[in-house]
């Protein structure tokens, strides 16, 4: 029987991965960008450049919610 568990040797944890996860959680929780930036030690501009793709996802979710209402 094959195990679905990932071997410990294949599990890689990085500071970047943890920061990205935290940024993603903050954005998708609706925390304002200026607060997200401060929590992660970025300026707003640095935060927006680094996590732009996550911000676009959240923006698109907002547009979709508006579309459903209209």
Higher pLDDT, 17 or 1: 17
pLDDT of residue 15: 83
Higher pLDDT, 2 or 55: 55
How many residues are given for the chain?
Answer: 70
CA dihedral 13, 54, 30, 17 (to 10 degrees): 10
Q: Where are the domains of the chain?
A: 32-70
* Average pLDDT value for residue range 9-26: 83
CA distance 5 to 7: 6
* Average pLDDT value for residue range 25-45: 95
> Closest by alpha carbon to 21, among 9, 39, 8?
39
């Amino acid at each position: 029987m094959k195990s679905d568990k990932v071997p410990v040797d294949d599990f890689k944890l990085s500071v970047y991965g943890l920061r990205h996860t935290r940024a993603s959680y903050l954005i998708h929780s609706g925390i304002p960008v200026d607060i997200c930036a401060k929590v992660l030690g970025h300026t707003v501009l640095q935060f927006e450049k680094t996590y732009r793709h996550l911000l676009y996802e959240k923006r698109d979710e907002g547009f979709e919610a508006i579309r459903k209402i209209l």
